[in-house]
Amino acid sequence: MRRAVDQDRPSISFFINGQRFTGKLGDTVLTAVLTQAGHLRTSEFEHQPRAGFCLMGACQDCWVVTEAGPAVRACSTLLEDGMAFVIEGLPGT
Amino acid sequence: MKNFDTDVAVVGAGLIGSATALALRQRGVAVVMLERDLGGSRASGVNFGGVRRQGRSPAQLHLAARAHPIWADLKAKIGIDGEYVRSGHIKLARSQADLTALAAYAARVADFDLGLEILEGRAFRERYPCFGPEIIGGSFCPGDGQANPRLVAAAYAQAARQAGCEVIERCPVTGITREGDGFLLRCGDAVAVRARRLVNAAGAWGAGIAAALGDDIPMRFDYPTILVTEPLPPIVSVNIGIEGGGFYGRQVERGNLVMGGGFGVASGDGASRPDSGALARIGGRAAAILPATRHARVIRIWAGIEGYTADKNPFIGESANVPGLFHAFGFSGGGFQIAPAVGEVLCELICEGRSSTPVEAFRPDRFQQQSAEPGRTP
Amino acid sequence: MSGRPSPEIRPVVVGAGPAGIRAAEALVAAGLRPVVLDEGERAGGQIYRQPPAAFSRSRKALYGFEAGKAERLHATFAALRAHIDYRPRTLVWNAVPGELHVMGDAGPATVPFSHLVLATGATDRIYPFKGWTLPGVFSMGGAQIALKAQGCTIGETVALVGTGPLLYLVAYQYTKAGARIAVILDSARFTDQIAGAPAMLRQPATLAKGLYYVAWLKARGIMIVNGAIPMAAEGTERVERLVWRTPAGEGRVACDAIALGYGLRAETQIADLLGCRFSYSAAEHESLPASDATGRTSVAGVYIGGDGAGILGADAAEAAGTRAALALCEDAGLGVDGAATGALEARVGRWRGFRAGIRRAFPEPVAADFALADDVILCRCEEITVGALRAACREDGVDELNRLKALTRIGMGRCQGRMCGPAARALLAHHSGRSPGDVGRLRGQAPIKPMPLAPMPLVFDEAKP
Ligand SMILES: Cc1cc2nc3c(=O)[nH]c(=O)nc-3n(C[C@H](O)[C@H](O)[C@H](O)COP(=O)(O)OP(=O)(O)OC[C@H]3O[C@@H](n4cnc5c(N)ncnc54)[C@H](O)[C@@H]3O)c2cc1C
Ligand SMILES: Cc1cc2nc3c(=O)[nH]c(=O)nc-3n(C[C@H](O)[C@H](O)[C@H](O)COP(=O)(O)OP(=O)(O)OC[C@H]3O[C@@H](n4cnc5c(N)ncnc54)[C@H](O)[C@@H]3O)c2cc1C
Ligand code: FES
């Protein structure tokens, strides 16, 4: 995922595996993570990295676990300041 | 119109019909099995998958005991193991009264060798850290287990077919008449089957088939409801029930938690659906019983259709009014584990007129003749 | 007769895209106050999707040629807000007669209805190929959403794979946004496109836009390969390369992202749960809720319009949404102008003709076209391979989709077969020797999308069944 246009928006911070990252107001969780990391989750059976697919809430392949416990569907959840995610296979786990 | 002439016709290719057909074929009896939908697609294929003896009435435990070794060697019988695992079954207690009830049950069924172990206090917590604080103990049956009904039910029907049974699917029986000593079954204008004996294994629709031949057998429909979560990390391996009912659950090897509790509603024309409160009810209970599931998501919900009797025991046996008609329906939510044995028993009843397993308690006319003469043990 | 709406009429519209907004508009005009439910953050649906508020691009930048229509639709919706009960971020996860079960910001709730307009739109139609689950592979619609709603492209060097007009639109939009297009692989052959042209002339403006994009792309030297079938997305951690095949041989190109899509498929689960009759459309290659030109389904009080009733595009969706709402008004005994309904039906009909041309120009690839190896993942949720499907067909003689589901788990995962369904059906038809219409369909099941197990307080209630 590469930022292309309309990126002049306020920064907000979030965490992946305890490390601080910066996203932008209006980013979805998917955008914020995938512009800086390779994947969102690991598949259950083949243990392969997955990074969403449909971006419209249809494929359900972008659920990201939060530190608090509940998972969020990354493509349809707006990033909020201080959100903290746990993503297997990224630095920090 | 396709015509068949056979020894035994079976209505319904659920587990009961298929297990019966398979047993009959293994004795060389000619069988035609008629199924309205696809074999194993109704209760037998959509149930919870609990392969459990614990909790059954002593009358049913004879059947359960006979089925028990068949499950362990399912592959020999139907070609697949059906994901059967002897995971044990625990019936949970929320109160001292529950524990007392579980202990009383254990005493009542002591003859059946279930190996029940009542657990409470620290021993319980240490063995099962997964259960929430409202759960204070339980009764553990080490030999019970679980299996995948989708696979088992389809494979039983397929095994019957491979053993030489004519299995006709998408073929609803629309008319049954007596013809001499035998029966004539019709599926619209498509199929006609003449048979000397008839097995009514039509599941929740069994009472309807019985009524068509003049047997008035009381049964009611209900719609047990199942929820499945997405795959979760391992939480629990034992099959779970709870004293008093209202919840059952198991985590399958792939990680999904399958659970049920309570009943849905009919939605017309042989269909059913969960009631509006199903998710909140079952999900809420699951989260209380297994706190690690509280952030899980549910990905499938459904309700099956099952026939229930007044005493929760099935009807198994030859009709008192219609010789040659054998009923096997009304399993009241518990037919999965015992089905392999029921098939063998029916085969014995048909071929020998008696069964080596006591089934007197399941006489189809038991509600008509409350004062049945006690001398008729098989 | 023209009367005041009775308070017993409780209309609900699901979907706030072109169809749903126009339906709500017609209901409000008839004096009703519909509930409008949409899972999305903001109204507009797919084509006129609005980015989150923090973005500042102009409508012209967002919607290009369609900016005027987008502006009108958004303005209509803004004006409606005071007259409707709009509930954004609200998923309809189950439907039973007279009642929708929803999940919104405030948790689960029940929304009763007397009349229901379904305007649930569509998602991408996908055919898998080797490596399609690698990070960097997105759906075609997803690629467009990344740009429209997030100002992002899915990569620096992007390959576009599939068929349909969206392929060229996305390529155009991506190029303008600074991405490099590695290749456009269109499974349609050039001759298909010629064959589709006459019918597409029914909407000359739309055809002209399509031709404009292709000419624009060609002028920039962007490689377009017709009659191409993707063979593999290769890479270790993410996509690095795309390999394809044409009758002329194999091709490959380096890329860091791939967009995949073969047109769209309708979202029909709610109609299914409500017991609407479905029929297989050979033209659309999917089972759709049966509906007449007015949008009435087989279930009284349930209406359907827009892409959720079968793909006809955004302009048709607006007309069909209005028409469905007017059918509701007719059935509710409210006055409706007969000339208006006829005109709306004619408008939708013209798009139907155009759509037939699109279908000819960008035909559904047939299962035999895909040299799908047994180890290709068909279902990305449950990670079920094409080989498992073939084995079920071969060994168990499966010839029906729900039996296939029971034996292989196809369609049982989180997405309920949205991604694998079309391919599973095509492959099953191919291997069982039956037609796609005869192998049945994956039935919609609750929950329509994953639901939290315990959105409520965690107590074991005392009610014992
Ligand atoms: C949700 C649910 C959970 C359950 N959980 C468990 C459990 O954990 N453990 C357990 O032991 N039991 C359980 N049960 C009970 C168990 O599934 C049933 O008792 C058992 O499957 C009954 O088998 P059957 O063959 O009689 O019924 P079915 O599988 O329903 O088969 C009857 C067949 O007859 C066919 N039929 C009906 N009418 C006609 C006709 N006119 N012509 C042709 N065919 C006809 C039907 O289509 C059907 O396929 C559960 C049941 C349900 C619904
Ligand atoms: C990603 C994508 C991009 C597209 N881009 C273009 C384009 O550039 N040009 C073009 O001509 N056409 C495009 N199309 C086709 C175009 O979207 C449609 O023709 C048009 O938007 C259809 O309008 P509609 O109202 O029928 O559905 P949609 O616009 O899809 O609206 C449906 C709405 O229903 C909501 N919804 C669905 N199910 C539920 C539920 N269960 N609960 C709550 N809400 C629900 C959705 O959130 C959505 O907002 C695109 C389609 C997609 C999927
Ligand atoms: S990317 Fe498909 S649901 Fe989020």
Mind listing the domains of chain A with CATH numbers? Answer: 11-86 (3.10.20.740)
Mean pLDDT of chain B: 95
For testing the chain A interface, which of C120, C138, C139, C150 should be mutated: the one with the most A CBs within 10 Å?
C150
Whether C1 shows a pLDDT value over 80: the answer reads no
Binding site membership of B34 for ligand 1 (Cβ less than 6 Å)? yes
| Subunits with 3+ C-beta pairs closer than 8 A to C | A, B
Same domain, B316 and B291: no
Pocket test for ligand 2, best of C12, C13, C35, C120 (most atoms within 8 A of CB): C120
Q: Stretch C86-114: mean pLDDT, rounded? A: 95
Whether C418 shows a pLDDT value over 80: the answer reads yes
Is B159 within the bounds of a domain?
yes
Minimum CA–CA partner of A39 in chain C = C135
Q: How far is A1 from chain C (nearest CA, A)?
A: 4
The predicted pLDDT at position C205 comes to: 83
pLDDT tens string B4-61: 999 999 999 999 999 999 999 999 999 999 999 999 999 999 999 999 999 999 999 9
pLDDT tens string C10-53: 999 999 999 999 999 999 999 999 999 999 999 999 999 999 99
Whether C366 shows a pLDDT value over 80: the answer reads no
Is B128 within the bounds of a domain?
yes
pLDDT tens string B253-276: 999 999 999 999 998 878 999 998
List beta partners, residue B71: none
Q: Are C154 and A56 inside 8 Å of each other by CB?
A: no
C134 contacts in A (CB within 8 Å)?
48
C273 contacts in B (CB within 8 Å)?
273
The predicted pLDDT at position B141 comes to: 98
Same domain, B240 and B282: yes
Which residues in chain B land under pLDDT 50? 371-378
Band (C6; pLDDT cuts 50, 70, 90): confident
Q: Are C382 and A56 inside 8 Å of each other by CB?
A: no
Domain count, chain B: 2
Out of B253, B269, B303, a domain closes at: B303
Whether C250 shows a pLDDT value over 70: the answer reads yes
Q: Domain C126-262 belongs to what topology? A: FAD/NAD(P)-binding domain (3.50.50)
Specify the 3-state DSSP secondary structure of B266.
strand
Q: Stretch C59-78: mean pLDDT, rounded? A: 95
Q: Stretch A70-80: mean pLDDT, rounded? A: 96
Mean pLDDT of chain C: 93
Binding site membership of B206 for ligand 1 (Cβ less than 6 Å)? no
Band (C3; pLDDT cuts 50, 70, 90): low
| Subunits with 3+ C-beta pairs closer than 8 A to A | B, C
Cα–Cα distances (Å) from C134 to A55, C254, C387, in that order, read 15, 15, 19
pLDDT tens string C158-190: 999 999 999 999 999 999 999 999 999 999 988
Q: C-alpha angle with apex C279: C329 to C263, nearest 5 degrees? A: 90
The predicted pLDDT at position C408 comes to: 95
Is B60 within the bounds of a domain?
no
Q: Stretch A3-7: mean pLDDT, rounded? A: 97
Query: Which part of chain C has CATH 3.50.50.60?
Result: 11-123+265-358, 126-262
Range of the domain at B317: 2-47+150-218+310-372
* CATH class, range C367-438: mainly alpha
For testing the chain C interface, which of B263, B265, B273 should be mutated: the one with the most C CBs within 10 Å?
B273
User: What is the dihedral sign for C-alpha C247, C250, C253, C258?
Assistant: positive
A85 contacts in B (CB within 8 Å)?
none
The predicted pLDDT at position B313 comes to: 97
Cα–Cα distances (Å) from B174 to B21, B36, B186, B236, in that order, read 21, 10, 6, 46
Same domain, B156 and B187: yes
The predicted pLDDT at position B162 comes to: 97
The region that residue C66 occupies, defined by phi over 0 for left and psi between -120 and 50 for alpha, beta otherwise, is alpha
> Residue B219, class by beta-carbon neighbours within 10 Å (0-12 exposed, 13-18 middle, 19+ buried)?
buried
Most confident of C367-376, C435-444, C455-464: C435-444
List beta partners, residue B92: B138, B242
CA atoms within a 13 Å half-sphere pointing along the CA-CB vector of C239: 35
> What tokens were used for B289?
């019983």
Same domain, B314 and B293: no
d(CA A66, CA C204): 50
The predicted pLDDT at position C204 comes to: 83
The predicted pLDDT at position B373 comes to: 47
The predicted pLDDT at position C85 comes to: 98
Band (C458; pLDDT cuts 50, 70, 90): very low
The predicted pLDDT at position B376 comes to: 39
C407 contacts in B (CB within 8 Å)?
150-151, 154
CA of C277 to the centre of ligand 1 (A): 26
CATH no. for residue B287? Answer: 3.30.9.10
Out of B252, B269, B303, a domain closes at: B303
Whether A57 shows a pLDDT value over 80: the answer reads yes
Band (A62; pLDDT cuts 50, 70, 90): very high
Q: Domain C11-123+265-358 belongs to what topology? A: FAD/NAD(P)-binding domain (3.50.50)
Binding site membership of C192 for ligand 2 (Cβ less than 6 Å)? no
Q: Are A70 and B295 inside 8 Å of each other by CB?
A: yes
d(CA C264, CA A63): 23
Same domain, B164 and B189: yes
Nearest CA to ligand 1 atom 8: B50
